[in-house]
Structure 1
Amino acid sequence: MTPSDSSVSPVLRSATRTITTEPARPIISARDLRKSYGKGQNRFEALKGVSFDIREGESVAIIGKSGSGKSTLMHVLALLDAPDTGDLELEGVDTRTLRGAKLNRTRNKTFGFVFQQFFLTGSNSVLENVVLPMKIAGIGRAERKRRGIAALEQLELADKARNKAVNLSGGQKQRAVIARALVNNPRIIFADEPTGNLDTNTGAVVEDILFTLNREHGITLIVVTHDEDLAARCDRRIHIRDGRIVDDSAEELAA
């Protein structure tokens, strides 16, 4: 599913970035990130000094086995959790300065989230689920509806706008989640095992949508996965094991 320029919705059109020949600047910079859980003998080091940059417009796969620290890393990068030590910058801003309402606004405006579990409220309509980030951001009802419908049209779900989310198929639910991720025109989309609950064909459609958003509209895509085929579609793969980066394909390409 690759939309043509003429079919791009207002939501995606406004998210399209101007392509230049200058090197992309880091949108995320991580330096020596460390994160532990528990205390004493039960203490578990999830991240053990992780450092890298992610440049705007990259598609990056964070890969590793269960318990490797990849999900913890995603939560830290997405400002859903804070590192114990280390420096994390978002577009040059020290994220430790983002607190309370400012942190919530930054997260809501900058990030879109696509999770394996969908996190849709089944008793609400598809449109009500999609517009939730805009409601949190305080955007008016009319504008919420306009942008929500535009996103659903782009993802071929406009005819399901009034349907209860519980009645959608797995693929339709994931497309609704992507529409919800788009409505605030995010700079970065975090996708955590986005095809994990889908069959092969439906998963391929969802992957195509995500990579279209990345490559045609300049949205930085960060995918957390153990799926090697999905990871191979990304520009770059960061392999994490036991809380440490053991391989970064970008370093190999630059060498």
Structure 2
Amino acid sequence: MTTPILSVKDVHKSYGRGQNRFDALKGVSLDIAQGESLAIVGKSGSGKSTLMHVLALLDAASSGSVELDGVDTATLQGRTLNRTRNKTFGFVFQQFFLTGNQTVLENVILPLKIAGIGRAERKRRGLAALEQLDLGDKAKNRAVNLSGGQKQRTVIARALVNNPQIIFADEPTGNLDSATGAVVEDILFTLNRENGITLIVVTHDDELASRCDRRILIRDGEIVEDSAAVAA
């Protein structure tokens, strides 16, 4: 049996202590297959963003385990953790998190800079990612001058530049009009289908969620519905 790319077992995540304690996740267990597209849906405060942060190793679980390609991520510390996260994951957020006064290319190659890749190779890979997203002609433009759709495509190029195994997309079309949002969705699902990149989407959008192979519903920190279980 193939090892899941991500395997979460009985994960709890709490914030605060005593009377101020809030249990954001309450015993979540989940296997995600390589190349799968998964939608995590739920109301605000349900725990879906917390689950994404735990899956992406941006936050540590209070208890339980998170395995990446069969490796317990609790064994990853400091630089090893940062390097693993930088090399394995790409991120596409609703807020673009672009540095407006830097060029599009400078924004895109940031993960490569963090990874210590040399300048010439950074430029080569950054331009290749921009060409893939039809943004090659915008490489020298300042990010502040881009349209919303161009900014989100720049963010996707930045997510792709390290050849990630997994892309996490948190409300990726939330700041876009419906036509531009549809283009961004198509790009993400094409990358999933043609490049075999695992796609994990956190969304309120039922239409976007329905395009994924699988949909899980979180309520009050627990998975209450999993379309994979229904299909089985």
Select 1:62's aligned residue among 15, 21, 40. Answer: 40
* C-alpha distance in structure 1 between counterparts of 2:197 and 2:132, whole Å: 16
> What amino acid maps onto 2:45 in structure 1?
G
Following TM superposition, by how much is the alpha carbon of 1:24 offset from its aligned partner in structure 2, in angstroms? 4.8
Structure 2 alignment gaps of length 5 or more: none
Equivalents in 1 of 2:30, 2:198: separation in Å? 15
Give me the whole-angstrom Cα distance separating, in 1, the residues matched to 2:144 and 2:11: 39
Say if 2:3 and 2:70, in contact at 8 Å, map to a contact too: no
1:232-247 aligned at under 5 Å gives the runs 232-247=210-225
Q: Aligned to 2:124, what secondary structure does the other structure show?
A: helix
Q: Which amino acid aligns with 1:252?
A: V
User: Alpha-carbon deviation of 1:40?
Assistant: 1.6
| Matched residue, 2:206 | 228
Correspondent of 1:131 among 84, 88, 109:
109
Select the residue among 168, 172, 182 that pairs with 2:150.
172
**Residue 116 of structure 1 aligns with which residue?**
94
Structure 2 Cα separation of the partners of residues 215 and 230 of structure 1: 15
- For the residue of structure 2 that corresponds to 1:246, the secondary structure is strand
Name the CA distance, whole Å, in 1 between partners of 2:3 and 2:19. 42
Alignment of 1:82-231 (within 5 A): 82-231=60-209
Instruction: Check the 8 A contact 1:113/1:181 in 2, yes or no.
Output: yes
Answer yes or no: is the 8 Å Cα contact 2:167–2:197 preserved in 1.
yes
Give identity over the alignment, percent. Answer: 79
Partner of 1:38: 16
Cα-to-partner distance string for 1:20-60 (whole Å, 9 max, x where unaligned): xxx65300000000001112211110000000100000000
RMSD: 0.7
Structure 2 CA distance, aligned partners of 1:237 and 1:65? 14
Matched residues, number: 232
Distance, in Å, in 1 between the alignment partners of 2:32 and 2:6 is 5
Unpaired runs of 5+ in structure 1?
Answer: 1-22
SS at match of 1:142: helix
Write the distance in 1 (CA, Å) between the matches of 2:65 and 2:19. Answer: 27
Post-superposition offset of 1:117: 0.2
State how far apart, in whole Å, the 1-side matches of 2:58 and 2:72 are.
15
CA displacement 1:167-190 (0-9 Å, x = unmatched): 100000000000000010000000
Matches within 5 A, 1:72-83: 72-83=50-61
Amino acid at match of 2:21: R
Which residue number in structure 1 is paired with residue 25 of structure 2?
47
